[in-house]
Amino acid sequence: MKFKYVMVVALFGVTLSSLGQEALTLSDAIQKGLSNNFGIRIEQENQEIARNNNTWGEAGRYPVVSFNINQSNAITDIDNPASFLQGKLRTNDLNPVINTNWTIFDGFTVKINKERLQLLQDQSDGNATIVIENAVQAIVEAYYTAILEQERTNVLAQVLTLSRDRYNYILIRKELGSAVTFDILQDKNAYLTDSSNYVLQQLNFQNALRSLNLLLAEDLTKRFEVTGSLDSETQLYSYEDLYARMTENNSNLRNQFVNQELLRNAYVQSRAARSPSLDLNLGYSYTKNWQDLSEANFGADSGPEEVIKSNTTNYFANFTLGFTLFNGGRIKRQIKNARVQETLGLLETDDLKLTLHNDLLSAYDRYRVRVKLLGISDENLATASLNLELALERYKNGTINSFDYRDIQVNFLQAALSHLQSKFDLIQTDTDLLRLTGGILANYQ
């Protein structure tokens, strides 16, 4: 009786814990993940940096203008018989300077740099897309995993109810004197086993919800009520269509193309080092000078004013033409290395295409096989459910014993769990196909 009380309390506690929970659809989960997921937020900040850098000013098109003010002070004490000026001379200077440096030509480096900055922004956008796609796929799988564990919990609760009813039934038969101790122990053992399985499954369900919360960047102790279903429509995919969509829309492949363009840009930039450079330097300076002669001795009855002021203005425009004649073959090596890097990028692109082709083939074959397995699982579950229903009546009539009924009950449990796993596997494979063909965001957003 104590054990029965504990199980009733446990079941009642689960029912109460589900009250007041926030309902969570798959769409809600994805929106929460897109807003809160730390990986997505980090990549968005990287995107902002790439956008900020993608300007002509960062590429070097515009001149650099600087402004400086120099101020100097000096005291000169003259004690020289050969000089007509004796004593202390105080000098103060104020010198504002405006300077402009502008590279007029540098082998089209500015244009090459701007192309590189645009490619870096495209690469950052591509990286963000990959991160978002991975996050959405992870959220979808975590959401359906939570539903899977919830459905498993329901199946085990159903089996536990059957075991409890059978155990109560055998206790009634015992009171009537029509049940032996062996049968009672057999039914009690089945009841205890199903109770343990149910309690462990509750833990699995809680862990699945916690994993979902982690992806959504929600409080790990928060309990959502997942409202979705494992039922999904079977898609009639054409491999040729999937392959065409993959080669055009796969985010990893598109990002690799951007990487290849960056390598080509690096090669063009290395060749630009052979070109001459022409720099323009413009400037303006103004010097204001004060000389304090109040403490100086000119050796005569009269001398100049105590303070002499002077101004000096300077304008300049200088051109510098530079050309690297020899630097130990460094430019040649850089060009050669850039060409090798570009070739390596082409090989990596071909390798990625082949890998994605293999992944698509595997996912396509898995999907077709899992569609067939789901059909078989549907039939198996229907048969096991009907068999369990008939076995219960036969058990009550005494036609079959507890061993036979338990075997049928276990068979139903395995069929039900296998059926849930088949539905989950089909959803997971469908998500893999969407991810490989670049359609996961369009499908779930």
User: pLDDT tens digits for 96-145?
Assistant: 999 999 888 888 888 998 999 999 999 999 999 999 999 999 999 999 99
Buried b vs exposed e over 269-282: b needs ≥16 C-beta within 10 Å? bbbbbeeebebeee
Is 14's pLDDT higher than 50? no
Average pLDDT value for residue range 30-34 = 89
In this prediction, residues 416-422 reach a mean pLDDT of: 93
CA dihedral sign of residues 11, 14, 15, 16? positive
Instruction: Return the percentage of the chain with pLDDT > 70, whole number.
Output: 89
How far from 189 is each of 163, 374, 375, CA to CA, in Å? 9, 32, 34
Averaged pLDDT of the chain: 85
Q: Tell me the backbone φ, ψ of residue 437, rounded to 5 degrees.
A: -95, 5
Q: What is the identity of the amino acid at 210?
A: R
Residue 229 has pLDDT above 70, yes or no: yes
pLDDT band of 169, cuts 50, 70, 90: confident
- Written as one string, the DSSP assignment of 166-227 is HHHHHHHHHHTT---HHHHHHHHHHHHHHHHHHHHHHHHHHHHHHHHHHHHT--TT--EEE-
What is the model's pLDDT at position 297?
65
For residue 294, how many C-alpha atoms fall within 13 Å in the half-sphere facing its CB?
Answer: 3
State how far the alpha carbon of 282 is from the alpha carbons of 56, 58, 106, 147, in Å.
21, 21, 18, 71
Cα–Cα dist 292/75, whole Å: 9
Write the DSSP symbol of residue 295. T
Say how many CA atoms lie within 13 Å of 260 toward its Cβ: 15
Using the predicted structure, report yes or no on whether residue 223 has a pLDDT greater than 80. Answer: yes
Global pTM reads 0.80
Mean pLDDT of 431-440: 92
Distance separating alpha carbons of residues 381 and 151, to the nearest angstrom: 14
Torsion-angle region of residue 284: left (phi > 0), alpha (psi -120 to 50) or beta?
Answer: beta
Given pLDDT bands bounded at 50, 70 and 90, which one contains residue 235?
Answer: confident
What is the predicted pLDDT for the residue at 327? 84
Query: Region 427-444: what's the mean pLDDT?
Result: 90
Tokens encoding 367? 């999907």
Q: What is the number of helices (H) and of strands (E) in the chain?
A: 11, 7
pLDDT exceeding 90 applies to what percent of the chain? 42
* Of 109, 132, 110, 107, nearest in space to 47 by CA: 132
Contact 89, 292 (CB under 8 A): yes
Q: 4-8, 296-300, 341-345, 399-403: which range is least confident on average?
A: 4-8
The pLDDT tens digits for 186-214 are 888 888 988 999 999 999 999 999 999 99
Averaged pLDDT for residues 147-176: 86
Q: How far is 419 from 235, CA to CA, in rounded Å?
A: 19
- Residue 86's pLDDT is 62
Supply the Cα-derived Rg of the chain in whole angstroms: 41
Q: What domains lie within the chain, and their CATH numbers? A: 2-36+107-276+326-444 (1.20.1600.10), 62-105+277-322 (2.20.200)
Nearest to 374 by CA among 411, 413, 428, 432: 428
Residues 304-328: tens digit of each pLDDT: 557 777 788 888 899 988 888 888 8
| Token duo for residue 317 | 């425009």
Average pLDDT over residues 226-253: 90
